[in-house]
A = this chain, B = another copy of it.
Amino acid sequence: MADLQDLERLLGDRLVRDASVLAELSHDSSRVGPEGAPRAAVRATSTADVSAALAWAHEHDVPVSVRGAGTGLAGGANAYPGGLVVSLADMTEIVEIDAANRTATVQAGVITAQLDARAREAGLFFPPDPASARTSTIGGNIATNAGGLRCVAHGVTNDSVAALVVVLADGRVMRTGARTRKNVVGYDLTSLFVGSEGTLGVVTEATVRLKPIPPGTPRTFRASFDTLEAAGSAVTAIVNGDAQPEVLELMDALSVEIIESFQPSGLTVPAGAMLVGQTVGLDAAAKAESITATCRAQGATETEISDTDALLEARRLSNPALNARGLKIGCDVGVPVAALAEVFHGIAEISERHGKRVSTVAHAGDGNLHSTVEAPDDAAGIAAADAVIDDITKLAISLGGTISGEHGIGSVKQHELPWQLDEAALDVQRAIKLALDPRGILTPGRGI
């Protein structure tokens, strides 16, 4: 381990070998365990630290896992046997809020909600809003091109990233992008690295775009439906209507039941599904009225408009509530929004065919679904649950959809890649990986 001492001399106590700390830094929030015990971790506080770590790993052919807050759901940040963990959680500096250009420059370890809070002090906000925003880091959001609740109005993380500082596999530092709104100078490396799941380089700093806080008081709304299909049709009608929501989420009956038993907020469990959402702007109330009217026209049995955030809070509890119940196997599929009723119909069929209860929450306005099956924690139980999720994923693909809307591929969805990508696309992905990380040290075997 003389080699590691070289790195230790450079990094001091930012190089960690304590087994209990390493254990904490070895897994994300997925059901998949780490591939093995790492030899050390670097708790980087600067781009230079990350550069030193990767240069060392590159020289010694040591596999590297990269992590922010470890909230990932695809096993992407899990450690490798004998590998090096690079943690960005201590890179928490908000370098600049540039209000006149509506950008913020932050280190990768900044918690997303903290960036948003700082932007709000300047009358701006950070549009991406993953459900994990209060715990996940902007670096992790960028690595997975995270989505969240506000995507229906503002797009995904990539739509809000202007420029990056990236450490390449051999330790060299590269800047991508520009602070300008338009920039056509060579290939769009910013978009290439956003969503690359730590396989091409390590993002250490980002310049992101902010938007002005809409004037007026936001409204939240909910609508209950007797069937999931009716709720799906309502979503398609809302998305194609004049009144555009900022947030449009769906919880099926089982999800509402699970959330209410985890932390009761007085929500009545619907027969089929509940839509919840938010409107913003000076006409927020009128838009909420218009959307709930659309819901009633599509068969909603009950609707409500509120000026509190309680309905969205319930939706945000979905993941904690599910986690509290033990092992679950889920998906992150997407479908074109006009296919929502059809995908819900198909999920009900799959549930019945497998004899397994499926709970589904959805970023409905985006057509992004998280269906979950609870599984006994044994091989047979997991295999049975996996079979349900595989069928739902194949259904989404057959409707023109995607195997991952916002969580990424990680190690969990490797086997699904050929379901969506053709052979030429897989070859191109591999060629890019090989070109930028020829020794294969960065998050090997995951992502693409």
Binding site for B on A (CB under 8 A): 98-103, 144-145, 147, 151-152, 155-156, 158-159, 168, 172-176, 178-189, 191-192, 194-196, 200, 212, 215, 236, 240, 242, 334-338, 363, 366-368, 400-409, 417, 420-422, 424-429, 431-432, 434-436, 447-448
**A168 x B424 contact (CB < 8 A):** yes
- Chain B residues within 8 Å of A102, by CB: 240
Are B192 and A236 interface neighbours, CB within 8 A?
Answer: no
Please measure, in the bound complex, the distance between the C-alpha atom of A172 and the C-alpha atom of B423, giving whole angstroms.
10
- Check B429 against A186 for contact (C-beta < 8 Å): yes
Given the known interface contacts A168-B428, A425-B176, A436-B431, the answer about A158 and B404 at a Cβ–Cβ threshold of 8 Å is no
Q: Are B184 and A425 in contact (CB under 8 A)?
A: no
CB distance B144 to A181 under 8 Å?
no
- The reply to whether B195 and A407 form a contact with Cβ atoms under 8 Å apart is no
Give 22 pairs: A residue, B residue, CB < 8 Å, sorted on A: A100-B236, A100-B337, A100-B338, A101-B337, A144-B184, A152-B181, A155-B159, A156-B184, A173-B424, A178-B334, A178-B401, A178-B420, A182-B402, A182-B405, A184-B404, A186-B448, A187-B196, A188-B195, A189-B425, A431-B435, A431-B436, A432-B436
Give the residue among A159, A180, A337 with the most B Cβ atoms within 10 A: A180
A149 CB, nearest partner CB in chain B, Å: 12
Q: Are B429 and A367 in contact (CB under 8 A)?
A: no
Q: Contacts A101-B337, A187-B192, A188-B195 hold; do A425 and B182 have CB atoms under 8 A apart?
A: no
Residue of B at shortest CB range from A237? B100
The answer to whether B186 touches A402 (Cβ under 8 A) is no
- How many identical subunits does the complex contain? 2
Once the chains are docked, how many angstroms separate the CA of A101 from the CA of B99? 35
**Complex contact B151–A337 (CB within 8 A):** no
Other-chain contact of A182, B147, B185, B427, B432 (Cβ < 8 Å)? B147
Closest to A367 in B: B180
Give complex CA distance A92, B177 in Å.
33
Tell me which of A178, A189, A426, A434 has the highest count of chain B C-beta atoms within 10 A of its own C-beta: A178
Known A100-B236, A432-B435; contact A151-B182, beta-carbon cutoff 8 A: yes
Establish whether residues B424 and A186, one from each chain, have CB atoms under 8 Å apart when the complex forms: no
Query: A404 to B168, alpha carbons, bound, how many Å?
Result: 25
Apart from A184-B195, A189-B429: 7 A-B pairs, beta carbons within 8 A: A159-B159, A180-B402, A181-B405, A183-B334, A184-B407, A188-B192, A432-B436
Q: Using Cβ atoms and an 8 Å threshold, which residues of chain B touch A178? A: 334, 400-402, 420
- Measured CA separation A156–B178 after assembly (Å): 14
Q: With the chains together, A98 CA to B99 CA distance in Å?
A: 38
A417 lies within 8 A of B159 (CB): no
Q: A192-B188, A337-B101 are in contact. Are A366 and B436 (CB under 8 A)?
A: no
Docked-complex contact B428 and A180, CB < 8 angstroms: no
* B435 A174 Cβ-Cβ under 8 A: no
Partner of A338, one of B101, B191, B335, B435: B101
Shortest beta-carbon distance from A12 to chain B in Å: 26
Q: How far is the CB of A409 from chain B (nearest CB, A)?
A: 6
Across the interface, A174 reaches (CB within 8 A) one of B240, B366, B401, B422, namely B422
Which single member of B155, B159, B175, B428 contacts A425 (CB below 8 Å)?
Answer: B175
Query: Chain B: which residue is nearest A339 at the CB level?
Result: B101
Q: How far, in angstroms, from A366 to B179 measured CA to CA in the complex?
A: 11
CB distance from A443 to the nearest CB of B (A): 13
Measured between C-beta atoms, what is the minimum distance from A447 to chain B in Å? Answer: 7
A172 to B434, CA, bound (A): 19
Chain B residues in 8 Å Cβ range of A420? 178, 185
